[in-house]
């Protein structure tokens, strides 16, 4: 029987938002889920133990400790074996949530292909291709190579739809030039997912939910901040999983905090839509 469970990631707490603002946001997202008749399960790894539903104390500690790993699916077993504290990215959160019977996950932006001189592709893409669940996101992170990311999603046969939009949103940016399939309501979203289950089709239903108008950042303005942030990246020895947190922190600096505010609002928006989808699935089961 379908249960009204919503998965939430912990990387946004440990590595995505500034301290101590991050903790308040994490608790607010859980509150929004409960207000919308869903049970939130923030996922993380505490001292080597996988937690599906962090306590408020654990959220506070994972948001303040300096030794919290950032783990994708590939690193889950390492964190468990070495008894680490770890924050789960999109891929790790999906894998753990799916293993615990959770079908819907709300996040901010998905990872993808970075537009750097070094080959850098997020584990998120492969997990989206093989794990069947509904993932609500505001689009690929704006710092990514969007063309390569959307092409990779297509190649990996990830089912991608835009909620009330036929253009790819990109995190802070409400719309880009890349076309995607449009859905008008949560009933269509639920129906697509149920058909995937009925036909045993692999992979996620990735629902791109554009950031609300009042918090969107134009592509032109964002690109100016991005160029400055990428210049900083070139001057620092930052690689791998540390690239995204570094760029997000520099974007927050150059935008005087506007990117952080936009990040928070799109997270809230995605939790609300995810809960609407869960309630629709509940009606249709």
Give catalytic residues, as residue numbers. Answer: 9, 141
> Structure tokens of 198?
């009925």
- Minimal CA–CA distance to 39: which of 11, 91, 3? 3
3-state secondary structure at position 42: strand
Contact of 174 with 216, CB cutoff 8 Å: yes
H-helix segments, 47-86: 56-62, 76-81
Give 131's contacts (C-beta < 8 A, 6+ positions apart): 94, 95, 98, 203, 204
- Minimal CA–CA distance to 33: which of 105, 125, 91, 88? 105
Q: Tell whether the torsion through CA atoms of 148, 150, 155 and 156 is positive or negative.
A: positive
- In Å, the largest CA–CA distance within the chain is 54
Q: Residue 39 burial (CB < 10 Å; 0-12/13-18/19+)? A: middle
CA 173, CA 284: separation in Å to the nearest integer?
33
């Amino acid at each position: 029987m379908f249960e009204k469970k919503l998965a939430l990631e912990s990387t946004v707490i440990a590595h995505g938002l500034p301290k101590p603002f991050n903790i308040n946001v994490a608790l607010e997202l859980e509150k929004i889920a409960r207000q919308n008749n869903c049970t939130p399960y923030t996922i993380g790894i505490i001292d080597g133990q996988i937690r599906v539903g962090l306590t408020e104390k654990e959220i506070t500690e994972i948001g303040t400790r300096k030794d919290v790993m950032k783990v994708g699916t590939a690193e889950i077993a390492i964190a468990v074996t070495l008894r680490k504290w770890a924050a789960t990215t999109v891929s790790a959160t999906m894998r753990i949530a799916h293993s615990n019977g959770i079908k819907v996950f709300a996040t901010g932006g998905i990872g993808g292909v970075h537009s750097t001189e070094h080959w850098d592709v997020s584990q998120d893409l492969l997990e989206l291709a093989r794990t069947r669940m509904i993932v609500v996101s505001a689009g690929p992170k704006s710092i990514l190579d969007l063309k390569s990311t959307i092409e990779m999603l297509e190649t990996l046969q990830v089912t991608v739809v835009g909620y009330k939009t036929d253009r790819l949103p990109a995190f802070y940016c409400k719309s880009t030039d890349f076309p995607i399939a449009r859905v008008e309501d949560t009933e269509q979203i639920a129906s697509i997912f149920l058909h995937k289950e009925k036909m045993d089709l692999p992979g996620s239903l990735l629902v791109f939910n554009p950031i609300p108008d009042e918090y969107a950042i134009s592509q032109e303005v964002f690109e100016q901040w991005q160029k400055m942030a990428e210049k900083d990246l070139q001057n620092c020895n930052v690689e791998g999983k540390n690239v995204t947190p570094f760029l997000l922190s520099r974007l927050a600096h150059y935008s005087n905090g506007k990117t952080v505010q936009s990040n928070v609002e799109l997270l809230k928006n995605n939790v609300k839509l995810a809960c609407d989808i869960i309630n629709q699935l509940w009606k249709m089961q």
